[in-house]
Amino acid sequence: MSNSEQVTAREETLRNAVITMAVESWRFGRAFDRLLTKLDVVEQERHKSQLRWFVKKLEETMNLAELKFVNIEGDRFDSGTAATPLNIEDFEAQDELMVEQMLEPIIMGKDGLIKMGTVMLRKVKK
């Protein structure tokens, strides 16, 4: 393997590591946010500040790697959406669907989609 191939392989390994850490950090942040609802209001506010700082640092790190999260919760879902729905079999083909919850984030890079997300869907109420 040439030196330039080694550098490229190392860069790819580092990029994959950043993506993995970003996804796990995103999951942790979501779990932490849900946990905050179990605290009294004063404690919630103190810990929400820490969560906001954590999310800000995560986004700064993602920007350095030319990556960003895309949140589609509440958006309409169609077959072209960059996310895999875990509960699609619960619906009929003609149902209008929306993303109820993101289980894994969509990650975009400067050249397009890096990682598809994972979502749970629900029917659009008419």
Interval 66-74 mean pLDDT: 94
Q: How many CB atoms lie within 10 A of CB 13?
A: 10
Q: Are residues 40 and 98 in the same domain?
A: no
Residue 113 in tokens: 């989609």
Q: Are residues 56 and 87 in the same domain?
A: no
Residue 44 is given by DSSP the state H
Residue 17, domain extent? 1-65
Helix (H) or strand (E) holding 67: strand 67-70
Q: Is 119 helix (H, G, I), strand (E, B) or coil?
A: strand
Q: Are residues 61 and 86 in the same domain?
A: no
The Cα–Cα gap between 12 and 107 comes to 16
Q: Are residues 55 and 36 in the same domain?
A: yes
pLDDT one-digit tens code per residue, 16-40: 999 999 999 999 999 999 999 999 9
Q: Are residues 60 and 71 in the same domain?
A: no
Compute the 3-state secondary structure of the chain and give helix, strand, coil in percent, each to the nearest 5. Answer: 50, 25, 25
Alpha-carbon distance values, 97 to 2, 112, 123 (Å) = 50, 24, 5
Q: Are residues 76 and 53 in the same domain?
A: no
Q: Are residues 27 and 3 in the same domain?
A: yes
Q: What is the CATH number of the domain that holds 85?
A: 2.30.22
CA dihedral 7, 22, 24, 8 (to 10 degrees): -10
Q: Are residues 57 and 13 in the same domain?
A: yes
- For residue 118, the model assigns a pLDDT of 96
Q: Are residues 6 and 59 in the same domain?
A: yes
How many domains, in total, are found in the chain?
2
Q: Are residues 52 and 112 in the same domain?
A: no
Q: Are residues 57 and 90 in the same domain?
A: no
- For residue 88, the model assigns a pLDDT of 92
pTM as predicted:
0.83
How confident is residue 79, by pLDDT bands cut at 50, 70 and 90?
Answer: confident
